Amino acid sequence: MFDAKSLLDQFLGSAQGQLDPRKGRSGGSGGDLMQKGKDFLSSNAGGLAAGGLAGILLGSKTGRKIGGKALTYGGLALVAGLAYKAYKDYQAGQQPGSQGSGANAGHTGASSGMGTSGPWSRAPLELEAPRGTAFDPERAPGGSQQVAVTLLTAMIAAAKADGHIDADEQRRIFGKMDEAGLDNEAKAFLMDELRSPLDLDKIVASATTPEAAAEIYAASRLAIDPDHRAEQAYLQMLAARLDLDPALVAEIENAVKEAELA
């Protein structure tokens, strides 16, 4: 079995091992971690500029705006951390008399996953590791490996939402996989997912908990810039099928925006 966690790191262009979903930031001082992140960004600048492996393989189909700070988190930690943050902000916004979370007060984001306009003023992105919570990948059925497979599948499905991955593009993508140095099992998984018809039922069925549903939506939103109607419609349909509260969807959008601006 291929290492799905590592592939998710590559897919998002994230530095591996910088933030563990259970243990928080790992190994070394803050300066060491920042230097590791800078070294990773320098050595992988071509891929990261295109949104990591997803950008290399899928080109303009993927979001390419994830900020440098967000890229210092591992892929699984990034998705879990964003979903966890969005859920906490959502819960805070549900309190009586609340005007929304402090980070998002006064901001009117789209609840359908569409892009937003207007100025954004954000503090530096800091994600809390959701260890011991229902967002902790290690607590999910099948553990973090299965969570990573689910998120990869969701991201590829989102990239296929506009229906434009044809046979010629599949051949081009396969060549890019060879250049990326993926092992045969990882390449087989990606090509199977790319070649198979878009199956929203499969994605929804993998959301076995509300927390998993939020993570699946967050990963799907990270995978694309929803600037086309087909992608916007897909995210709207996905949110509805995952039974996500529009207010939670808006918080996920806000969290993704923070990752883009980090």
CA distances from 105 to 93, 122, 134, 250 (A): 9, 11, 26, 12
| Cα pseudo-dihedral 142, 145, 232, 200, rounded to 10 | -50
- Cβ neighbours, 10 Å, residue 176: 15
Domain ranges of the chain: 4-261
Per-residue confidence of the chain (262 residues) as pLDDT tens digits? 788 988 888 888 765 434 444 444 333 333 443 344 334 333 333 333 334 677 666 665 555 566 666 666 788 888 999 999 999 999 998 877 665 544 444 343 333 333 433 444 455 567 887 888 889 888 888 888 999 999 999 998 988 887 767 777 777 777 778 777 788 999 899 889 888 888 999 999 999 999 999 999 999 998 887 878 888 999 999 999 999 999 999 999 999 888 877 6
The two structure tokens encoding residue 9? 């790191």
The two structure tokens encoding residue 56? 């290399």
Which sign, positive or negative, has the C-alpha torsion 160, 165, 171, 177?
negative
Q: For residues 75 and 11, give the distance between their C-alpha atoms in angstroms, rounded to a whole number.
A: 8
Write out the H or E segment, with its range, that includes residue 24. Answer: strand 24-25
